[in-house]
Amino acid sequence: MRRKIVAGNWKMNGSRDLAKSLVGSVRSGISDLDNGAEVVIIPPALYVRDVVELAGASVSVGVQNVGQWLSGAYTGEISAGMARDMGCEFALVGHSERRQLFGETDESVAAKVEHLLSSGLTAVVCVGETLAERESGKAESVVAAQVRSGLAKVGHDRWQQVVVAYEPVWAIGTGKTATAGDAQAMHGWIRNQLAELGAPAEDVSLLYGGSVKADNAAALFAEPDIDGGLIGGASLKAEDFVSICRAVPASI
């Protein structure tokens, strides 16, 4: 079964007070949500405990990153098992900001995915091309390589814990969203890559991210291969995030 998911990636924003008030407002805002969407909040790791305590059953919680090792002398890192221990059900992997600013590679993405799946979390694996890659006609090949290497080690019984988020780098935080048609085309391409990897491709959820707002979410989510969204800036305003959660059509 393909999951419908709207996840808010707060990145390194906010404060403890904001985290608590945002999760409270989201929780009450989606109390009557009936489109079947799973709502996920991905706060800075230090606020996970507060968010888990206040989230209730209708909001799941995730971390923005985990280390690529199980445990040990890795100062500053947190493990997949620790995230699970604190009540997280999701983790982002390979966000473009981590690839560009923190040296995340396809190999470290693959290692993290392996640990997340064996710890029982859902891995939201982020892929996407830069503007230069798109303009030089390489968007498909770049995304295919990220999908294939990041998911190379997924066992046949673990695909229900895998979500792929397509986030074109040029659309993140820029206000420039991919058109629904362009996003759909890339999602279809990603589904083909998954099928070639041996995944039950029709059952894997594919999220779109990159300047998703309350006023463009419905058009994106109406596409047949877009199963929800990964939301940055708009997830920091409860009202906007709740509107985006409501934009998921009940039928996908």
Which residues in this chain contact ligand 13P in the complex, by CB under 6 A? 9, 95, 167, 172-173, 209-212, 230-234
Of the pair 37, 251, the CB lying nearest ligand 13P is at: 37
Torsion of CA 54, 57, 59, 65, to 10 degrees: 80
Q: Which is nearer to ligand 13P, 184 or 211 (CB)?
A: 211
- Token code pair at residue 158: 């673990």
C-beta of 22: minimal distance to ligand 13P in Å?
A: 15
Distance of alpha carbon 234 from alpha carbon 153, whole angstroms: 33
Q: Of 119 and 211, which CB lies nearer to ligand 13P in the complex structure?
A: 211
Residue 3: C-alpha distances to residues 67, 183, 251 (Å): 26, 18, 11
Q: Which of 38, 95, 114, 129 is catalytic?
A: 95
CB atoms within 10 A of CB 209: 28
Q: Is 167 a catalytic residue?
A: yes
* Structure tokens given for 168: 């074109």
With b for 16 or more beta-carbon neighbours within 10 A and e for fewer, the 90-127 pattern comes to: bbbbbbbbbbeeeebebebbbbbbbbbbebebbbbbbb
* For ligand 13P, the closer CB: 154 or 172: 172
Say which of 97, 114, 129, 167 is annotated catalytic: 167
For the question of residue 95 being annotated catalytic, the response is yes
41 in Cβ contact with 59 (< 8 Å): yes
State the nearest-atom distance from the C-beta of 210 to ligand 13P, in Å. 5
Closest residue to bound ligand 13P by CB = 232
Between the CA of residue 151 and those of 7, 154, 159, 189, what are the distances in Å? Answer: 20, 6, 10, 15
Catalytic residues: 95, 167
